[in-house]
Amino acid sequence: MTFTGSKRLSQLGSAIFSEIAGWKREVMNEGVDVIDLGIGSPDLPPSERIIEAITAAVRNPAMYGYPTSEGSLAFRETVAKWYQYRFGVALNPETEILTLMGSQDGLAHLALSLCDPGDMAIVPDPGYPIYSASLVLAGVEPYLLPLRAENNFLPQLEDIPTDVAAKAKFILLNYPSNPLSAVADRAFFEQLIAYAKKQNLLVVHDLAYSEMAFDGYRPLSILEIEGAKEVAVEFHSLSKSFNMAGCRIAFLTGNADVVKALKTLKSNIDYGVFGAIQAAGITALEEDMEHDHSVAGVYEKRRNVFIEALAEAGWKITPPKATMFIWAPIPKGWTSRQISREMLYRTGVVVIPGDAFGAEGEGFVRIALVQDEARLLEAARRIRDWLYTLE
């Protein structure tokens, strides 16, 4: 007997990612030294202090009961202190913070907690895949909001049709952005909050890359904007900021009603984050508040080395101000998928075609700075040598 998955499964994910995995296997089976700049998984470990905190916590017998689905009060109180330290935002740890098993956990379930089948939500194109996938799971209709280079990858809110704005439950945005590496300033966030209040629309902001900014740029929280808590929530993750991607810990902050809705759903799905991981999260945030610990310097150096090396090959890319990614326009005459495939087969370097993130991503590739400087220089050399053969 054969069993098939639900119709929803056929709408999830991008076939491009599966294709890339297949290409990579073929190349590796041929003995090629692959330099993977595809998935944005940090290649560095957490600080020694964080590792020590995990080690001590896993030896504590008290950690092995069920944790609370909302997260320990100690972790949420530390998040509140860190938000005050980092953004000057006051949060109530009881009602305005929810602990999550990674921000993807929260992003995947938010529409289920807020929307009914047939509702609409506004999500960016290009955008991180879970943004649209979460709507599929909830039976919510997406409105794809185009983000284009000529507008610095910022949405043109005035171009959203009035019937869409009236019907949509929320608008989801992400600055600093994955995959675009774009940033937004205070003026944009003020405009966004004003728009949301006018349209009676929730703003969902994904701030996973707030601690990966360069050239003196300092990303802000949308909750810094006056009145934002009335209409906004914000996801934040320890994955990239503290090299804790495998630990699966993040949090939602902001509007208490939205936090409560997601908390209610989550309480029926899981029992929360392992207590030892929450202990490590407390240590990470405390260490940052004590020493202004930041991974940004590592990625800024990698960005500079890699972009300068590609420029020598004739591939000129504007340096991004934030994130671990480079959103690179491709040479004319190629599609994103074609050049990504040829680059992998000819050079052994993995990048992600831009259309993996939506139709508006065509004409770009996303490159993740998840190798050390020596490997990035080697990747740039291989790309340079290949590009020269095309001239």
Choosing from 235, 263, 291, the residue where a domain stops is 291
pTM: 0.95
For residue 155, give its domain range.
48-291
In a domain, 42, yes or no: no
Of 332, 333, 326, nearest in space to 349 by CA: 326
Q: Does 319 fall in a domain?
A: yes
Same domain, 157 and 196: yes
Alpha helices, DSSP H only, in the chain? Answer: 7-10, 15-29, 48-58, 73-87, 103-114, 129-138, 162-167, 186-199, 256-267, 275-291, 296-312, 336-347, 373-390
> Quick one: 314 and 351 in the same domain?
yes
Q: Is residue 269 part of a domain?
A: yes
Q: Is residue 61 part of a domain?
A: yes
Within a domain: residue 43? no
User: Pick from 291, 315, 336: which residue ends a domain?
Assistant: 291
Give pLDDT, residue 294.
Answer: 83
Q: What pLDDT is attached to residue 136?
A: 95
Count of structural domains, the chain: 2
Domain co-membership, 263 together with 191:
yes
At which of 249, 275, 291 does a domain end? 291
Residue 330 lies in a domain: yes
Same domain, 110 and 253: yes
- At 14 the pLDDT is 67
The alpha carbon dihedral of 242, 245, 246, 250 has a sign of positive
3-class SS shares of the chain: helix, strand, coil, % to 5: 50, 15, 35
Same domain, 315 and 201: no
Specify whether 187 is located in the same domain as 303.
no
Clarify whether residues 54 and 73 are in a common domain.
yes
Rounded (5°) CA angle 191-199-121: 95
**Within a domain: 93:** yes
Q: pLDDT means per 10 residues in the chain (391 residues)?
A: 84 79 94 95 95 97 94 97 98 98 96 97 97 96 98 97 97 98 98 98 98 96 98 97 96 98 96 96 97 90 97 93 97 94 96 96 98 97 89 64
pLDDT given at position 388: 79
Predicted local confidence at residue 345, as pLDDT: 96
What is the per-residue pLDDT for 3? 85
For position 7, what pLDDT does the model report? 84
119/24 same-domain check: no
Residues 189 and 71 in one domain: yes
Q: What is the pLDDT of residue 1?
A: 82
Do 179 and 235 sit in the same domain of this protein? yes
Q: Do both 156 and 12 map to the same domain?
A: no
